[in-house]
Chains A and B, each alone.
Chain A
Amino acid sequence: MTMKLFPENTNFDFIGKSKYAIALSIAISIMTVYLWVSKGDSKYGIDYKGGTEIVIKLSENTESQIVREALEAGGVKDATVQSFEAGSQEYSIKVSGSEDTTKNSILAALKAKFADKVSIERTDVVGPTIGEELRAKALIAIIFGLIGIMIYVSVRFEFAFAVGALGSLIHDVFVCTGIYLLAGREINASTLAATLAIVGYSVNDTIVIFDRVREEILKTKKFEIVPLINKCINITFSRTMITGLLTLFSALALLIYGGGSISDLSFYMVVGIITGGYSTIFIASPIVIAFDRWSRSREAARGAISARS
């Protein structure tokens, strides 16, 4: 017997249900914008705004509060102390400002309190100019990524598909970033990597459906766009879910076992793989349909105008 997770020959009305999905996505996107604006510079990690970050490991049980107090006793104000990895005695200490003295006074304060029970795992000091440059570069990279993929899709498929792919990718970036910020994570170099990876990955599912739509169009000649796209989503549904699930396994493995240094990257990937699957079904195709209708009506209008003249 062939094993199946998802029934074959389904005819679920994905397109019809997409309005609820779109409403949800818009709500999350509004939250993203709100978080992005209200968090100000505090949403950036030190890579993107400059500052000092030190990761320490303690050989005795302690709490971040005690580390914070030790730092204050050593004259280091406004330090953010967080557990670096759940279940370990590793802490990350972040202070904005990248003067040499910041790092050295943190180290001195830690030595004074914990003596040889503290080991310095990592130190990062980033100047403010680099941070701003990297931010600008990251934005350019993401925009180029989106444009590049749009060009590719419009060359390989029709322009309406490219619009759909672009819409769903922008959606993914918005939703992922919002959830990422909601989880209290910082925007840093890993976020850029994850965003680009998700942009590249998420369009996969979309392309698979589009590829199928193209095939069906060639096969049937005469068709109605909505039921046709809906049929293609249904045909590829099992595949969309399975591959999403398998990639999700990899990303979850990274999130669970990969450690603190890449937890931002893996978290974003986990969220992105889920939203990528979701947007393929509920966002990309409705945009294609809407764009198709819009351009048809425009052509009709133009036709009417030229007929009149």
Chain B
Amino acid sequence: MTSETKKRLIIFTITVVVALLFLAPNISKETFKNGWISKPISLGLDLVGGVHLVYEVQASEAVKSRLQSIANSIKSELRKDKIAVLRSKVSDDFKLELSLVSDRQVEALKTKISENFKDLQFVDVKMDGERPRVLYSISELNAGKIEEEAVNQAIETLRNRVDQFGVAEPLIQRAGQSRIILQMPGVQDIESVKRVVGSVAKLEFRLLSTGAGSVPTLTLKDKEGAPVVVEDEVLMNGDAVSDARVQMLSGQVEVSLGLNSEGGKLFRQITGANVGRNLSIILDGVVHSSPRINEAIGGGRASITGGFTFEEARELAVVLRAGALPAPLKSLEERTVGPTLGAESIKKGIISILAGSIFISIFMLVYYKKSGAIAIITLFLNLFFMLALLSAFGATLTLPGLAGLALTIGMAVDANVLIFERIREEIRAGYTRDVAVNAGYSNALVAIVDANITTLLSGMLLYYFGTGSIKGFAVTLSIGVMTTLFCAAYVGRLLFDLLPLKTSGKEISI
């Protein structure tokens, strides 16, 4: 054995050992868990079944609702100074419009805002007859910050809600500016997921309008769609809620809310100040109930009733516990894969890989004889190294990924064919075995590297531009290029050195 061969053998052995270490968690999940150098290869949603959703956070809504809540604070501040804001309106281009009774109040409003609400920029005053409309806007920078915050908060809220769902290993991932990808393996009921995950759950407490006085009002609908007139001012919102549970009370399902300490105080104050009035409980703009306030309510609990089914109440409790979304979500994409389809796909993928490998093995053995056997050994080693690298990278194996494995086997053998054809040529040219093998390898290697790098380039582009399970194809294709190069250039060469491959009377069996 030459020193060159020895060196190769040592490197090869080390590689195999490292690959085995990477693969270990796939063999025994229990023994090699947290802290091990690699994780078991995870299977994509298309192989295990589950739910895949892509949402867009309508972040501009968060900016608008922030402006609306600033408007509410301005109103209550001004009320202290006995200045009434008749109307506040938020437009789609993030402008806040405040209507006052007389133009003498404009200066007071402007001072108030420049003192307390620095995010707002004065735009203009317009007159509607006697009544001035003061326009403010929010800077693009601030709007951008609010949007960014909204997306982050939406992800946080989704995570909380999904946790409530009790799914093993859900995936929640931000995609681009304002999208969220949500994957829940093993879940089938996508409608239930969408209700729990996708509802905004904006909870508001407002007084039911008595119809008297000049208090600004708002017309909402109840669950049956009948109009309900409530006061404009939001007395309390979902921030006050710390806990939500389903309760059965005299045959009726209700969601009982635990309030945090601040919320409890606020609730006692609100109920105390409005004895005799009706308090409307509004969820996502729908009035659920408007119970009469009989006395100041302490103890930090409130409840929502309103003809729920038990399932509805349970889902509502989940979303209230997890908190409201800062902005509505729009569903862009939703996919479900049934568990049987996934299992079938794995089976079919493996059969394809095996069928391809067997075809190729038979061909190589018949066509290149003992050298063909070397190709077959490298082929299976290639598969082994690919799986090890998938584990090492913590990659996810998808159905297109399995297809990538199958195709890599076909492409990997290309390297062997190149080398073998080259060796045959050298032998025809009259060279001896060792010279022919050396020349075959060194001449073919350049072409092999060139040819594989282009595939790697394609694979990387596909990884970057591809979506969903298609990324898995890019992963196996790219990993396949690396292992193919190693196997062809290194392992095949080593096997040629170790195995004499002599046939009777001939120099080499190829």
A250 near B333 (CB under 8 angstroms)? no
User: Which of B367, B403, B413, B417 has the most A CB atoms < 10 Å from its CB?
Assistant: B403
Q: Is A148 an interface residue (CB 8 A)?
A: yes
Mark the stretch among A24-32, A75-83, A257-265 that contacts chain B. Answer: A257-265
**Is the CB of B145 closer than 8 A to any CB of chain A?**
no
Chain A contact residues, majority secondary structure: helix
Contact yes or no, B366 A250, CB < 8 A: no
Task: State in angstroms the CA–CA spacing of A212 and B455 once bound together.
Answer: 20
Known: A196-B458, A239-B421. A249 touches B356 (CB 8 A): yes
CB distance B54 to A130 under 8 Å? yes
Distance between A2 CB and nearest chain B CB, rounded to angstroms: 6
> Given A192, A207, A262, which contacts B451 in the complex, CB threshold below 8 Å?
A207
**CB of A99 to closest CB in B, whole Å:** 10
The reply to whether A203 and B454 contact each other, CB–CB distance below 8 Å, is yes
The answer on a CB contact under 8 Å between B467 and A259 is: no
> A140 — which chain B residues lie within 8 A by C-beta?
465
Complexed CA–CA distance, A203 and B454 (Å): 7
List B contacts of A269 (CB < 8 A).
407
Contact between chains at A125 and B363 (CB < 8 Å)? no
Q: Taking the nearest CB of chain A, how far is it from the CB of B336, in angstroms? A: 5
List the one stretch of A115-123, A176-184, A220-228, A289-297 in contact with chain B: A115-123
- What is the minimal beta-carbon distance from B362 to any residue of chain A, in angstroms? 10
Total B residues in contact with A, Cβ cutoff 8 Å: 72
- B267 — which chain A residues lie within 8 A by C-beta? none
Q: Is A208 in contact with B447, judged by CB distance below 8 angstroms?
A: yes
Tell me which residues across on chain A come within 8 A of B414, comparing CB atoms.
204, 243, 246-247
Q: What residues on B are CB-neighbors of A204 within 8 Å?
A: 411, 414, 451-452, 454-455
CA distance A211 to B333 in the complex (A): 46
Complex-state Cα separation, A265 to B348, whole angstroms = 14
CB neighbours (8 Å) of A114 from chain B are none
Assess the A246–B336 pair: CB atoms within 8 A: no
Q: How far is the CA of A265 from the CA of B469 in the complex (A)?
A: 12
Using a CB-CB cutoff of 8 Å, which residues 111-139 of chain A contact chain B? 119-127, 129-130, 134, 137-138
Residue A274 CB within 8 A of the other chain:
no
CB atoms of A119 and B468 under 8 A apart: no
**Cross-chain contact B418 with A120 (CB below 8 angstroms):** no
Q: How far is the CA of A93 from the CA of B455 in the complex (A)?
A: 35
Residues from 415 to 450 in B contacting A, C-beta threshold 8 Å: 417-418, 421, 424-425, 428, 443, 446-447, 450
Of all chain A residues, the one with the shortest Cβ separation from B428 is A8
Residue from A130, A144, A257 within 8 A of B461 (CB atoms): A144
The B464-510 residues at the A interface (CB cut-off 8 A) are: 464-468, 470, 473-474, 477, 510
Instruction: Tell me which of B155-163, B249-257, B339-347, B385-393 binds A.
Output: B339-347
- Interface membership of B331, Cβ < 8 A: yes
User: What A residues does B467 contact at CB under 8 A?
Assistant: 134, 137, 189
With A120-B338, A253-B352, A257-B348: A126-B333 Cβ-Cβ less than 8 Å? yes
Task: State the CA gap A259–B399 with chains docked (Å).
Answer: 10
Q: How far is the CA of A248 from the CA of B356 in the complex (A)?
A: 9
Q: Complex Cα distance A309/B413, Å? A: 58
A residues neighboring B (CB under 8 Å): 2-3, 5, 8, 55, 57, 100, 119-127, 129-130, 134, 137-138, 140-141, 144-145, 148-149, 152-153, 156, 189-190, 192-193, 196-197, 199-201, 203-205, 207-208, 211-212, 215, 235-236, 238-239, 242-243, 245-254, 256-259, 261-262, 265-266, 269
Please name the 6 residue pairs, one residue from A and one from B, whose CB atoms are nearest each other, closest first.
Answer: A250-B410, A200-B458, A247-B410, A141-B465, A204-B451, A200-B455
New A-B pairs, 8, CB < 8 Å, besides A141-B465, A148-B457, A200-B458: A121-B341, A125-B334, A196-B458, A197-B459, A207-B450, A247-B407, A251-B406, A262-B399
Cross-chain pairs A/B with CB under 8 angstroms, 23 sampled:
A122-B335, A123-B334, A124-B334, A130-B54, A134-B467, A189-B466, A192-B465, A192-B470, A196-B459, A200-B455, A200-B457, A201-B455, A203-B454, A211-B446, A235-B425, A243-B417, A246-B364, A249-B410, A250-B356, A250-B359, A257-B351, A257-B355, A259-B344
